Amino acid sequence: MATVPKVEVGTDYKEKYGFFVPEEYVFKAKRGLNPEIVKEISWMKQEPEWMTNMRLRSLEIFRKKPMPKWGADLSVIDFENIFYYLKASDKQSKTWEDLPPDIKATYDRLGVPEAERKFLAGVSAQYESEVVYHSLQKELTAKGVIFTDTDSALRDHPDLFKEYFGTVIPPADNKFSALNTAVWSGGSFIYVPKGVRVDIPLQAYFRINAENMGQFERTLIICDEGSFVHYIEGCTAPIYTTDSLHSAVVEIIVKKNARCRYTTIQNWSTNVFNLVTKRAMAYADATMEWVDGNLGSQITMKYPSVYLMEPGAKGDVLSVAFAGKGQHQDAGGKMIHVAPNTTSTITSKSISKGGGRTSYRGHIKIYPGANNCKSFVKCDALLLDDESRSDTYPYNDVDAENVTLGHEATVSKVSDEQLFYLMSRGIPRAEAETMIVNGFIEPFTKELPLEYAVELNRLIQLEMEGSVG
Amino acid sequence: MADFEIRDLRASVEGRQILKGVSLSISKGEVHAVMGPNGSGKSTLSHTLMGHPGYTVDGGVVTFKGQNVLELEPDERARLGMFLAFQYPVVVPGISMTNFLRTALNAKRGYDGKDKSKQIAPKEFRSMLKDELDVLHMDDSFLPRYINDGFSGGEKKRAEILQMAMLRPEIAILDETDSGLDIDSIKFVAEAVNRMRGPDLGVLIITHYTRILEFIKPDFVHVLVDGKFVLSGGAEIADRLEKTGYSEWVTEEEPKEVA
C-alpha cells in the first residue's frame, strides 16, 4: 500500500533543498566588530554552539593580539569601518555602471564572458557554471569525495568538520587567523577518502557564489592516506570588491602517502588588503604543493607553509608575485621540518613595475632531532624600472644535524641584450618585454592548467601595457 | 645606387670612437666579407647596423629601401628586411625556440595581435621549420628548449642560421658566425647560407679568419683596420690574408683564437 509522504511546507526546506529562510529575524549589515555581531553571524548560519563559542574566543584573541609590524604597513586598516558579514543579497546593491573603467576595460580585453564578469565585479551573486558542477558532483560522490562550501560542511558533516577545523591553524596563531575564525564565511571543504585519486582539478570556480568570494573565507582540505587532489581557487580576471580587507584561512591535512596540490591565482582590485594564512600538515611520505600566484591588491601578505610532521614528508611552494604602482606584495613561504628525512623547496618569482614593491619573506625551521633534512630556497626578482623595489628576508633556524640547506637569490632587470636580441628579429619592444617577463615566470606558468596559463600570460601582457589599474 | 648603402658611418662605444668613416655598397645577390684584426671595429659595425643601444652613431647614413635605417628601432630594421646573426647569441629563459620563431615570423608578416589573417598557419610553420632543420642537420628536440639556453657553441650558431632561414631577410649580416665552430658545423652553416644565396639576398660576412670563406665564396672582400677600410677587392684578398695575416697594417698579430 502506498503511503503519501508527509510534507511540511516551510520546515523541511533545509534538509530537502539545503537552504533555509530565517523567520522573524532581519539581519541588518552593520559595520564594526563586537561579540554581538559575531553571535549574529553564527545565529544566521544556525551553527552548533561549539562554533559560536569558538568564534567568540577567537574574537577575544584577535582583540588582544597586536598588529604585526614586521611586514607591510597595515596601520591604515580601520577594523571598525568594515562589514564582517553580508548576505549575498546585500552585496548586489552595486551596479555595472558603478564599476571603475579600468576594471571594465580589463574584462573586455581578457574576453571574460558577460555573466562571469558581472559575478566577478560583485554585481551578480551567482556565476552559472552549474552544469559542470553537477556532473562533477555525481562522480565525486560515487568515490566518497566531499566537495562543498565550508558552511554546508559544518551542517552536513559535523563530526569530520569538528575533528579537523582549527587544528592546523588555531585561532591564536596570528591576529588575522583569529579574525578569520571569529567571522569566517564561505570557502571550500574537501575530503578525499583513503586511496582515492581525484583526476581532474577541483575548482572553486565550479561552484562559486558571493559567499565564496567573501572577505573571510575558510577552507579545509583533508587528504586521507594515499589519496590525491588538486584544488584550484581564483581566476586571473580581476575581482572587484569595495571591501578593503580580505583575510582567508586555508588548512590542509595530508595524511600518509597522500598528495595535495593547492593552486591559487588571485587578482584583487588594488584597494584590497589581502592577508591570508595558509598552512598544511604533511605526514609520512606525503607531499604538499602550494602553487600561488598573486597579482592585484594594495598589500598582500601571504606565506603558504608546510609542517613536515613525519619522515619522508615533502613540501613545495612555488609562487609568483606582480607588484605595480602603489602595490606591495609581501609573499614567500615557510617550511617547518618537525621530523627527520623531510625535504622542502621554495621557489619565489617576483616582478615589480612602476614603483611597485615585492618582498620575499621565508622561514625554514628545522627542529632538534629532525636530522637529514633537505631544504632549498630560490628567489628571483625582476625589476622593470628604476623606481621599483625588491627585498629578500630569509630566516633560517636549524637545530638538527646533517642538514642540507640551500638559498639562492637573484635580482635582475630586463636586460638590454635580451631585448635587443628579440627586437633584432622584428619583435616590437613592448612585445619583447612581455615575452621576457612571461619567460621569467614560465617555471610557474608551466605548473598551471593550460587555460590558466594562457590567461595569466595575457594578463601579464595587459599589466605590461600599463592598462590594468 | 646599391640596395644597401653605408656612407661614411662613424660610431662610438662609451665615448670612444671606433668606426671612423665606413662606406660600403651591397646589392642583393652579392656576398661581401669584412675582415679585420681584433679591435678593428668589426663588432661595432654589425651592432651599429642593427641598432644596438650601446653603440652611438656619430655620423653617416645607412640607406635601405629608401630609408635611413640608423633612425629606426632594431625591430623596424628587422621588419624592413635586415638580419643579424649574432656572434654571441643571447640566452632568454622561459621562451621556447618554437614560440620565439613563430612570434618573430608573425611580427615580420605584420601580425600585431589583431588581424589573424596575417598569422602564419600552424601547418605551414611546421613544414617550413622541418625543411630548414633538415638542411642544418638539427632535430626537433631543439625546438621546445629555451632560446639559446644550454646550447653548445655549434647549436647556437646553427640556431642563428635557422632563424635567418625562417625570416628570409634581404640583407643578412653574419657576425663571426664561424668562431667557435667545428668543421662539420661550419659546413652545415655554409650549406644553409649558400642555399639562400640568390638574387633576393645580400650578405655581409664579418670574420677574423678566412676559414668560412672557403665554404661561402665572397664576391667582395674588405679589410677593416682601426675603424676604416684599408683595402677592398675580390675574393683574392682573402687568399692574400690567409698567407700574410694583417701584418701589413698592424705590427703585432693577435693571438690565434681557440676554435
Residue B78, chain A, CB below 8 Å: the answer is yes
Q: What is the DSSP string of B198-221?
A: BTTBEEEEEESSSGGGGTS--SEE
Strands A259-268 and A299-302, sheet pairing: unpaired
Q: Which helix (H) or strand (E) holds A260?
A: strand A259-268
**Residue of chain B whose alpha carbon sits nearest to that of A440:** B94
Residue A430 has pLDDT above 50, yes or no: yes
Confidence at A201, pLDDT banded by 50, 70, 90: confident
Number of domains comprising chain A: 2
- Which residues of A fall within a CB distance of 8 Å from B93? 439-440, 442
Closest Cβ–Cβ partner in A421, A431, A438 for B90: A421
Question: Across residues A378-396, what is the average pLDDT?
Answer: 93
Residue B92, chain A, CB below 8 Å: the answer is yes
Model confidence pLDDT, tens digit, residues A136-147: 778 889 999 999
- Which residues of A fall within a CB distance of 8 Å from B100? 422, 425, 435
- Does residue A109 fall inside a structural domain? yes
> Helices A429-440 and A416-423, interaxial angle, to 10°?
120
Which of A425, A441, A456 to mutate to probe the B interface, most B CBs <10 Å? Answer: A425
- Does residue A389 fall inside a structural domain? no
Which residues 434-463 in chain A show a CB within 8 A of chain B?
435-436, 438-443
Question: Across residues A329-343, what is the average pLDDT?
Answer: 96
Q: Of the segments A23-32, B129-138, B166-175, which one has the largest average pLDDT value?
A: B166-175
How far does A435 lie from chain B, in Å, by closest CA?
7
Chain centroid, CA B158 distance in Å: 12
Residue A20 has pLDDT above 50, yes or no: no
- What letters, b where the CB count within 10 A reaches 16 and e where it falls short, cover A86-98? beeeebbebeeee
- Does residue A388 fall inside a structural domain? no
Give residue A427's domain range. Answer: 417-469
Domains annotated on chain B, with CATH: 1-89+163-259 (3.40.50.300), 91-150 (no CATH)
- Which residues of A fall within a CB distance of 8 Å from B79? 426
Confidence at A113, pLDDT banded by 50, 70, 90: low
- Does residue A233 fall inside a structural domain? yes
Which of B72, B79, B83, B95 to mutate to probe the A interface, most A CBs <10 Å? Answer: B95
- Does residue A60 fall inside a structural domain? no
Residue found under cell 638539427:
B138
Angle (CA) A340-A345-A350 rounded to 5° is 155
Residue B103, chain A, CB below 8 Å: the answer is yes
Q: Would you state the pLDDT for residue A456?
A: 84
Model confidence pLDDT, tens digit, residues B225-256: 999 999 999 999 988 888 888 888 886 555 55
Residue A339 has pLDDT above 80, yes or no: yes
- Which residues of B fall within a CB distance of 8 Å from A432? 75
Of A322, A324, A306, which Cα lies nearest the Cα of A366?
Answer: A306
Residue A110, chain B, CB below 8 Å: the answer is no
How far does A426 lie from chain B, in Å, by closest CA?
4
Q: Would you state the pLDDT for residue A134?
A: 62
- Does residue A355 fall inside a structural domain? no
**Residue of chain A whose alpha carbon sits nearest to that of B93:** A439
DSSP 8-class letter at A171: G
Residue B168, chain A, CB below 8 Å: the answer is no
Question: Are the beta carbons of B167 and A420 separated by less than 8 Å?
Answer: no
Question: Are the beta carbons of A439 and B167 separated by less than 8 Å?
Answer: no
Domain boundary (A302, A333, A362) is at A302
Residue B110, chain A, CB below 8 Å: the answer is no
- Which residues of A fall within a CB distance of 8 Å from B167? 425-426
- Does residue A311 fall inside a structural domain? no
ipTM of the complex as predicted: 0.95
Confidence at A120, pLDDT banded by 50, 70, 90: low
Question: Are the beta carbons of B78 and A440 separated by less than 8 Å?
Answer: no
Residue A187 has pLDDT above 90, yes or no: no
**Burial of A21 from C-beta contacts in 10 A (0-12 / 13-18 / 19+):** exposed
Which of B47, B73, B75, B98 to mutate to probe the A interface, most A CBs <10 Å? Answer: B75
Strands B92-96 and A374-383, sheet pairing: unpaired
Model confidence pLDDT, tens digit, residues A276-288: 999 999 999 999 9
Cβ–Cβ pairs < 8 A, chains A and B: 83
How far does A436 lie from chain B, in Å, by closest CA?
7
Residue B75 has pLDDT above 60, yes or no: yes
**pTM for this structure?**
0.82
B76 CB-near residues (< 8 Å, 6+ apart):
none
How far does B221 lie from chain A, in Å, by closest CA?
25
- Does residue A429 fall inside a structural domain? yes
Closest Cβ–Cβ partner in B83, B94, B103 for A440: B94
Domain boundary (A302, A323, A340) is at A302
Which residues 34-53 in chain B show a CB within 8 A of chain A?
50-53
Model confidence pLDDT, tens digit, residues B117-140: 888 998 999 999 999 999 888 888
Residue found under cell 569558538:
A54
Q: Please tell me whether residues A287 and A436 are part of one structural domain.
A: no
Domain boundary (A284, A302, A320) is at A302
Q: Which helix (H) or strand (E) holds B96?
A: strand B92-96
Residue, of A294 and A84, whose pLDDT is higher: A294
How far does A280 lie from chain B, in Å, by closest CA?
30
Q: Would you state the pLDDT for residue A6?
A: 43
Question: Are the beta carbons of B74 and A442 separated by less than 8 Å?
Answer: no
Question: Are the beta carbons of B92 and A439 separated by less than 8 Å?
Answer: yes
Strands A228-234 and A202-203, sheet pairing: parallel
Mean pLDDT computed over every residue of chain B: 92
